[in-house]
Structure 1
């Protein structure tokens, strides 16, 4: 039995090479039983002509399918579906499929979906002017070297390391690089026992909150501040105190005396981008010693200090072990990587490691080793330097456009970053502005999600230059100004 040539067509929605599309098309046909064992496939020449691809592409796809036992080659006869090809177990759907008689309002014991978080459009790349924060720019990223590092991690030499269940342990090469290279740049010395790899900074903040806080303890965070931290603190069921932010960061005189843990982002405050000066950092550490509280330092975007050298990390100034340091590769590599790290006393890290092990064991070994390879071979430093150059140029273009259009900035930038913190003229609501701009192909981020009380942030919004080309920035800023002007005249 031969499979008709008209059966074969490439899925335009599948993102991959032509060879991968052909392999997927045939493997799906075999797995779904549309291509039964023993069925003959078209010759590579005929299939190539039918699909409009080169013959070598089809031949390579056939060869890969043979190696995976989807196909077998019979001399000059051609390619056939293997009699031992993988098959999916098929079950008849029950007659009650799709019915749900559970009263979930009663069944759910705790709710987590009522937290206010920023909305990230999945299709943001399709918009002409995506001033969206925290997404990777594929034109800057080092695809080739990252691919080589991933292939190296999956090679025979490292295969047993990246595929093993390491229980609560982390990749020693990644921990070693962080200890000997990353942390010393921030003036921090740490032993491997004091370092824990996390699933990004969000996971590190959650672990810190769970280990350090309970219903009888008080945590202080910046207002406005990172909404993911507020969620983590709410889940810890502690008393949360919101502390105002000025041009130098967290206002220390607003810290309550009963504080147990202070969470702060001194390098690049989220979302205003202000940097805490050295004097206030020392003052915060002195207060921590005097009032006996701990500090969780989110060293957010310190790599993006391309305007001025970064201030010393709080952890580097800490002489009593009161600071827990949180770092991440999400902004400097790509957010989907979900790899970060935390540094603290060995006792704290021991507890955080045990909690992490109970939830997810450890971050994926392949990602840890790929990242370790990328770091150790110098690709990471080259990428950060390239990002700094590109961001500096984009920032200058955006700053010029903002000034030309008369838009109001609300944040104070002293070292760099990847965004501007903005404010609308009264009484324009930033959510209404965002909705109107979306209709014109412009994406901005309303700022209400960063405040303890969302109504306090109704006129704030953030525009980032990390995911938009320099050539498009001026036109996008012009549309923002035109839309704001339109609100004024309605």
Structure 2
């Protein structure tokens, strides 16, 4: 029996190449039982015409399915579903489980219910996504990243792909960070002073686990990166929120009993304030005075397109008390989950041992792919392209905000990819966000960034990393119109 060509169609939201989509379509038909063994598939010419693709694309898809035993070829007769094609296992429906465990008592420590909000996974379907930290496919260098990934899969890199590094990292990636990335921030380090992590958040978690106990105190900015507050809550240490001002974290407000200070001096999260050099020196003096360590989260330093970035706090440190957190997740793409820690060797040794006991090491193939992308110059070219695009978008969004007389609460002097906003008194931006979502506009309410029960509700963040220039004015207009009707 021949399968009618009308039963074949490509999903409009499918991912991957046309060849991969056709393979998946046929394989799913076989595995689901819709296509039976021995049934004949449409000819390559007929299916190509039906799907509106080239005949060679269909031929290559059939050939791949043939090699995987989904299909069989019978001379000039055509392609058929193989008699030995993979089939899904026929599991008997399990008997209903009668839960008898009291999970309210069985769970010894809870990790749910923190401050970190849930961002919509389908953010890209919104027309005006002022959402932070997502990759813009129009800016990313897909071609060269793919080439680097293929190169990392080659025989020459077989060890980096398959080897268990245990507690070590890809030497090529470490070398690039030491020789190229850190010197741009004024930082000198040795290989035993750096550790690759699964992004900045993993670096902050490792740091908190190594440095903090239930008897120690952490000082953090208020408002701050909400995931950091969750991490510190899970560590069960004492937490001292320190209100920030227009220059970031005020050193004089750091309590005497502080053991670890967490700060974002280059782009304060979320207000985007940049800490002046004099205050950075005062912060180091205050840390020395109370004998505290400093954890510097230097996210987005590459996005300083308005002025060259200030030297990292770590570059001013002469005591070895600053631990530096860097990440490629914002500059490349968030799904990469690749960051790094730089600190004194005794600290890195403990962080390395902890990482090894939890996840061994970030995947070797990802590390080697990133190393190629960085060392071949693709990363610098990407940063230049992104900086120019963000600069243009920054100009457009500032113009639109001024036109509609919206209130800016924080505007980074060096660049970045977001603006910290303030709604009129009486506006709860969580409610504002829900109303705007109905108009295909996404914003980030600001309350989760603040500590304490009585959090300000009138702040919100507008990011412009994932929205094209042409859509920004209308998106800002919709925000203004909704606020005006409040």
Q: TM-score by structure 1 length?
A: 0.94
Residues 269 and 300, structure 1, Cα contact 8 Å, conserved in 2: no
Per-residue deviation at 1:87? 4.3
Residue 466 of structure 2 is matched in structure 1 by: 467
Query: What SS is found at the alignment partner of 2:69?
Result: coil
Rounded Cα–Cα distance in structure 2 between residues aligned with 1:4 and 1:440: 42
Whether 2:61 is the aligned partner of 1:53: answer no
Match of 2:169 in 1: 170
Shift of 1:40: 4.1
Contact 1:213 1:236 in 2 (8 A): yes
Partner of 2:116: 117
The separation in 1 between residues aligned to 2:458 and 2:18, in whole angstroms, is 48
**DSSP-derived class of the 2:455 partner:** helix
Task: Please tell me whether residue 345 in structure 1 is matched to residue 344 in structure 2.
Answer: yes
What SS does the corresponding residue of 2:76 show, helix, strand or coil?
Answer: coil
Partner SS state of residue 241, structure 2: strand
Q: Residue 238 of structure 1 aligns with which residue? A: 237
Task: Note closer, same or farther for the CA distance 1:273–1:23 as it changes in structure 2 (3 Å cut).
Answer: same
Give the C-alpha shift of residue 16 in structure 1: 2.3
Alignment of 1:303-342 (within 5 A): 303-342=302-341
Q: Following TM superposition, by how much is the alpha carbon of 1:160 offset from its aligned partner in structure 2, in angstroms?
A: 3.4
CA RMSD of aligned residues (A): 1.9
State how far apart, in whole Å, the 2-side matches of 1:144 and 1:454 are. 48
CA distance, structure 1, for counterparts of residue 99 and residue 55 of structure 2: 50
Aligned: 1:457 with 2:456? yes
Partners of 2:141 and 2:435 lie apart in 1 by: 35
| 115-124 or 38-47: bigger deviation | 38-47
Counterparts of 1:236 and 1:211 in 2: how far apart (Å)?
10
Aligned to 1:424: 423
> 1:399 and 1:7 mapped to 2: Cα distance?
51
Asked whether the equivalents of residues 115 and 229 of structure 2 are also in contact (C-alpha less than 8 Å), the reply is no
SS at structure 1 position matched to 2:410: coil
Cα deviation for residue 149 of structure 1 reads 1.1
CA spacing shift, 1:300–1:160, aligned 2, 3 Å: same
Could you give the per-residue CA deviations for residues 104-150 of structure 1, whole angstroms, max 9, x where no partner exists? Answer: 32332221111011331122222221111111111111111111111
Q: How does 1:54-133 map to 2 (within 5 A)?
A: 54-82=54-82, 85-96=85-96, 100-133=99-132
Deviation at 1:388, TM superposition (A): 1.0
- Structure 1 residues 2 and 402, CA gap change in structure 2 (3 angstroms): closer
Match of 1:387 in 2: 386
Match for residue 184 of structure 1?
A: 183
Residues 321-350 of structure 1 show CA distances to partners (whole Å, capped at 9, x for unaligned) of 111100001111111111111111111111
Identify the range of structure 1 (37-46 vs 297-306) with the bigger mean alpha-carbon deviation.
37-46
Once the two structures are TM-superposed, the CA of residue 276 in structure 1 deviates from its matched residue by: 0.7
Equivalence for 1:373:
372
Structure 1 position 68, deviation (Å):
2.8
**Bigger mean CA deviation after superposition, 182-191 or 152-161:** 152-161
Match of 2:265 in 1: 266
1:41 aligns with 2:71: no
C-alpha change, 1:50 and 1:140, in structure 2 (3 Å) is closer
Q: Equivalents in 1 of 2:309, 2:106: separation in Å?
A: 50
The equivalent residue for 2:193 is 194
Question: Could you tell me how far apart the structure 2 residues matched to 1:85 and 1:190 are?
Answer: 55
Counterpart for residue 437 of structure 1 = 436
SS in 2 for 1:111: coil
Structure 1 Cα separation of the partners of residues 476 and 32 of structure 2: 50
Query: Greater CA deviation, 359-368 or 296-305?
Result: 359-368
Distance 1:4 1:413, change over 3 A: closer
Question: In structure 2, how many angstroms separate the alpha carbons of the residues matched to 1:6 and 1:413?
Answer: 56
Asked if 1 retains the 8 angstrom alpha-carbon contact of 2:196 and 2:341, the reply is yes
Secondary structure in 1 matching 2:218: strand
